[in-house]
Amino acid sequence: MVSLNRVVMGPASRRMIQQLNPPSLKVAEVSGHYGQQFDFKSYEQFRYPEYDICAGPYMDPDTSKPRKFDLILANQVWEHLDRPYIATKHVRKMLKKGGKFWIAVPFYIPFHAAPMDNSRWSARGLKNLLIECGFEEHLIQSFQWGNRHVAQRNLEEVWPPEYVEGKDDIEDDPMMPICAWAMAERS
């Protein structure tokens, strides 16, 4: 099943990540499995509640310093965090210089507590979050996509809606975002 809410964000994000040369990257993923589709040099998943990004960066037990990564992924996670600003600062601490943080979040979708549902960001909102957490504005790319048709499908009883090619309108309406995503580089 391809989620209608991710039908544009998914391919656009894959292209962004492919441009980074995945076989050369040491990667961490916060509470997800999006990164499994790539052939990274190394890939580690840090799942909540064992690893709580709000509580601190992931530490190296040998050095007691934050672990360092070329890329950190967070797919549909930040809306569930109690402290997304401090979590973003922790991510930044774990990035090598020149390392990247890719984040994807919903905007206009139903409340979905897993275990909680706290926040929403547009492309501009994501960019502002990243700036406020120490990333430089010129090193952030942010995007959003959606339209009223997809918003209406999100009100259906069965959620999330499955994309139906040829039936679902996926033309972007910048005034009706469904999801947003960004890539920020640590300077």
Is 1 a residue whose pLDDT tops 90?
A: no
Name the burial class of residue 38, with classes exposed (0-12), middle (13-18) and buried (19+) by CB atoms within 10 angstroms of its CB.
middle
User: What CATH number is associated with residue 51?
Assistant: 3.40.50.150
Number of domains into which the chain is organized:
1
Give buried/exposed letters for 57-69 (b at 16+ CB in 10 A, else e).
bbeeeeeeebbbb
Domain range for 8 is 4-185
Average pLDDT, the chain: 97
* Confidence (pTM): 0.97
User: pLDDT-based confidence at 108, cuts 50/70/90?
Assistant: very high
State mean pLDDT over 20-35.
Answer: 97
State how far the Cα of 27 lies from the Cα of 33, in Å rounded to an integer: 12
Assigned token pair, 5 = 């809410």
